[in-house]
Amino acid sequence: MNKNKTINKIFEYIKINSNVNPSRLADKFNLGRAIIHRHLNKLQEKGLIFKIGAPPKVFYSVQKNTPAFQKDLIDLIKNKDKKIIQKNFYFVNVDGTILKEVAGFILWCKDRNFDIKKKAKEYVSIITKYDKFKNKKLIDGTKKIKATFQNIYVDKVYFVDFYAIEIFGKTKLGQMLLYAKQGQNRKMMKEIILNIKPKIESLIKKEKINAVGFVSPSLKREIQFMKVLEKELNFPLPIISILKTKTDVIVPQKTLSKLEDRVKNAQKTFVVNENRFWNKILLIDDAIGSGATINELAHKIKKQKIAKKVYGFAITGSLKGFDVISEV
């Protein structure tokens, strides 16, 4: 059977029937599951269909108002801009479907009646603006910490990307981090870790880090992202013990809007339980808003003479003054 004819027939079948699962398609077209999934992935990449559910209960439906493919719409975007959109665009819809890359960007624009050409130019302009902050693929957030606190204990702070940017809101990593944690999505967690692992490894090598510490989460969840992160990174380095103490009432950092409250919370609820000494330690967190936790942990580490220098690393962060990342 001709490959292009087959994929078109699959698309038409989904279009007519809606909420079709791969098994049904395999039976209908007498094809193996691997081939069916390959065709479904291509249709998804083109933005023609979307997936509902998660294995083993997965169904596919056709995107509303989707042309039989969007080549004319894609041609509205300059080739150099397509590369930036393809790499960076990621949006989670209210129904849980993911719009990503160029095809997702076009659907996102169409849902909002945006001028695709104009919005693509605006998106690329803002992404380019924020990419200038990235030096060798990491953002140096040290200046932000120094501008926020009077007493600075952490020596350097880095993060992979901003949590959110102007106009377009949460970045790709910001969206993934939010929904990985809130949705307890282990697959998405591992996707994030796969993306950031080389960057942390490079930083460890560059700064000659001797030990790492993972910031303990405040909220109780069945799947703790920081625990998954620690396990998947699996660094051949000593891990220092950082504990979040139990209190009568758990007050997560993200619920506190005042900087002084965040500092006090970090001072009173975190314990560094170590008696070893290293030259340089890297503290790893998922997001840096104010930087209070990282800075206060660095204070405790130096006060207890656990390390000479302390560096901070987060997946996402902010550079503007005291920005509270309250969602994650």
Q: Which DSSP string corresponds to 278-301?
A: EEEEEEEEEEESS-HHHHHHHHHH
pLDDT, tens only, 114-161: 999 999 999 999 999 999 888 778 999 998 888 888 899 999 999 999
pLDDT (mean) for 313-325: 77
- The token pair at 141 is 């957030």
Evaluate whether 320 touches 176 at the Cβ level (below 8 Å): no
- The token pair at 48 is 């023609």
Q: What is the DSSP string of 153-164?
A: --SEEEEEEESE
Angle at 256 between CA 315 and CA 326, to 5 degrees: 35
Task: Give the DSSP letter of residue 183.
Answer: T
pLDDT, tens only, 66-119: 544 455 667 778 888 989 999 999 999 887 878 888 888 888 998 899 999 999
> From the CB of residue 168, how many other CB atoms can be counted at a distance below 10 Å?
16
List alpha helices for 112-251, DSSP H: 116-131, 142-148, 172-182, 186-207, 225-233
Higher pLDDT, 321 or 192: 192
Evaluate whether 325 touches 318 at the Cβ level (below 8 Å): yes
Evaluate whether 107 touches 63 at the Cβ level (below 8 Å): yes
Exposure pattern of 237-254 as b/e (b: 16+ CB <10 Å)? eeebebebeeeeeeeebb
Amino acid of residue 307:
A
Cα distances (Å, whole numbers) of residue 221 to 54, 173, 231:
20, 20, 16
Amino acid of residue 131:
D
Domains of the chain and CATH, by start? 1-68 (1.10.10.10), 70-132 (no CATH), 134-317 (3.40.50)
Cα distances (Å, whole numbers) of residue 205 to 61, 147, 197, 201:
46, 28, 12, 6
Q: Which residues, 6 or more positions from 266, have their beta carbon under 8 angstroms from its beta carbon?
A: 253, 292, 293, 295, 296, 297
pLDDT, tens only, 277-317: 999 999 999 998 888 899 999 999 999 999 999 999 999 99
Strand partners, 164: 170
Amino acid of residue 289:
G
Radius of gyration of the chain (CA): 23
pLDDT (mean) for 236-263: 78
174 pLDDT more than 70: yes
Cα(178)–Cα(326) distance, integer angstroms = 10
pLDDT category of residue 263 using cuts at 50, 70 and 90: confident
Pairing between β-strand 270-272 and β-strand 242-244 as defined by DSSP bridges: antiparallel
**Sign of the C-alpha dihedral, residues 229, 231, 232, 234?**
positive
pLDDT (mean) for 216-220: 78
Cα(34)–Cα(37) distance, integer angstroms = 5
Evaluate whether 286 touches 315 at the Cβ level (below 8 Å): yes
User: What is the number of residues in the chain?
Assistant: 328
